[in-house]
Chain A
């Protein structure tokens, strides 16, 4: 398919635009009138949908940038070059989504710059803030060749492409640190977070699951864009990533099971309570089923099979972030404090963020040489 053939104003795009406008209005309302009237956050549940889904989930879903970037530029696995641009671009939109969400979620949005100048080095959130800013800049830099190419700025293009390994290394470093830091955020609350999830290894679990998710997410995006923009999906790349998922997923499973056995014990996971059911669901959807499927050759080598596994891993890992952020603290909170269910505006803003990422990618594909389609 040619770039010219990509229609921008399809019904789907219009829907996305509407969602973005409505969500944007909700965001404006939130800024002017405060969190109390726009969200259902309260003193028992200071973090809700925006933190767990938009920020934790968004950052995890955008891990593809550093995984593929690292594979292509540091490990020099040139086989994956065709997907490095979309992976990085998607990561950029993912981080932009997360950064915008966190700006809306904090109590005083226009003070988002505070952690950059007021340093408190004991705080994981301080480290996350610095890293997110640096990494979003890194992703922007890694995506800049697309712009330079379009604007025919040859010198700039070649310069950035030249130092790309350095930038990619920087990106890998930052990602390793803050993907795990987001897990480390919850280390401070062992008495609140259910032992099903709480562990001193929580940062590493977040990191490994982010890598696993990265592979599935990039694969999912590749297959999806091949269907939407009507070009042949790169099977060797997809197969390679599927194999990688099997390995990383296996590692994640070992980490989680080991932690369960040496921690609360298997009994805690099967006692029928809400938290244990959510834990099992996350494990089954996100790890166990995918691993079973991936280990079957005729699934792993089929496009549909790979796509199915991708969806399972995405659902399971996002569920994990939601579980750690909300469900894991539900039992103690339920007895003491208030209830929480996201408000309409929280959903609207979240949907608008996702719509923005999708639309942003589509526009980029149309106007920039992301997928290396014919002109």
Chain B
């Protein structure tokens, strides 16, 4: 045994110092918590939605092009295909080929629109582009990342190695995986950010005939949503169509809303906001989702790691030295 205690202590101290330095995580490495300045998003008003699914179809059409979130070299439009049989089945659920889906919730005889009693309501499910996205925070390689300008949570297929942690982390169960392919990707709505350059915006909003889905700056959408909650049921209102600041309006009677804008605070706030006439839990939103910023829950543990490293290295070395001496004393 060649090394003496002094040398070992020196080595250990040096080693632990080096380790500490390399693993120190700067404060700003934790996830963003504020809305980016140019944050854009979508406001969905379930009371205006008629379930035509134009948004579902156009989302697929405009995302199947190069740069889009559904793009694949060997296909032109993303039909939902049962891999066991190469036929087309209708999009009934978010999937590796469906980024946006309309579903319905029915109670009783389901004849009254947006009513809890014997009623039905539509819901448009897609990525909510959280302000502090859990998916981006858990991605070990940063394949999912939030744009610091627009706030869109985008996906880099070249970084992703398929751990699927994002699917566990997302409280809304949004990311879907291409299990049917040998080299799979994660698929989720990316707000049609590939169209922003051309001055276009999300296809679902562009093709929504009733203004149920409108695109715009999140701050403006929040204002519009909160304004609608102050309107009187039964009054007429000129709902903007396609974008929140659009000149084109659709005059409709105001329905009874649940007095809550979903996405203002949930999961730390999202850029996809929703209004509805029935409680959001009926529309598939897990009732256990709180206002907690999810990445913080993990960060609370990670932030302790440097201290643990230091403590174990120092304490361990000390223990080793002390117990070795004690053993030697006992023997000698």
Contacts and interface: CB of A to CB of B under 8 A. Distances in A.
* Touching chains A and B, CB distance < 8 Å: yes
Interface of A: 32-37, 39, 41-44, 46-47, 70, 73-78, 106-108, 111-112, 114-115, 118-127, 129, 158, 161-163, 165-166, 169-170, 172-173, 176-177, 180-181, 184-192, 200, 203, 332, 336-337
A32 B181 CA distance: 10
Query: Chain A: interface secondary structure?
Result: helix
Nearest to B172: A191
Nearest to A158: B2
Interface string B1-35: 11100001001100100000000010001110000
B286 A332 contact: yes
Contacts of A126: 140-141
Contacts of A200: 297, 300
B297 A43 contact: no
A129 B29 CA distance: 18
B139 interface: yes
B141 A192 contact: no
A280 B327 CA distance: 44
A324 B122 CA distance: 34
B15 A166 contact: yes
Contacts of A172: 312, 316
Nearest to A73: B320
Interface residues of B, number: 71
Contacts of A192: 168, 171, 286, 288
B149 interface: no
Contact of B294 (A78, A163, A176, A188): A188
Given A125-B163, A127-B305, A191-B288, A165 B298 contact: no
Nearest to B156: A118
Given A177-B308, A191-B286, 12 more contacts: A35-B177, A76-B324, A77-B323, A106-B163, A115-B141, A118-B159, A122-B138, A125-B138, A125-B140, A172-B316, A176-B308, A184-B302
A332 to B, nearest CB: 6
Contact of A191 (B139, B159, B171): B171
B288 A190 contact: yes
Nearest to A164: B1
Nearest to A170: B15
B182 to A, nearest CB: 4
B288 A173 contact: no
B284 interface: yes
Contacts of B324: 76
Given A115-B161, A162-B1, A74 B316 contact: yes
B297 to A, nearest CB: 5
Contacts of B25: 121
B137 A188 contact: yes
A190 B297 contact: yes
Interface in B36-88: 83
A78 B327 contact: yes
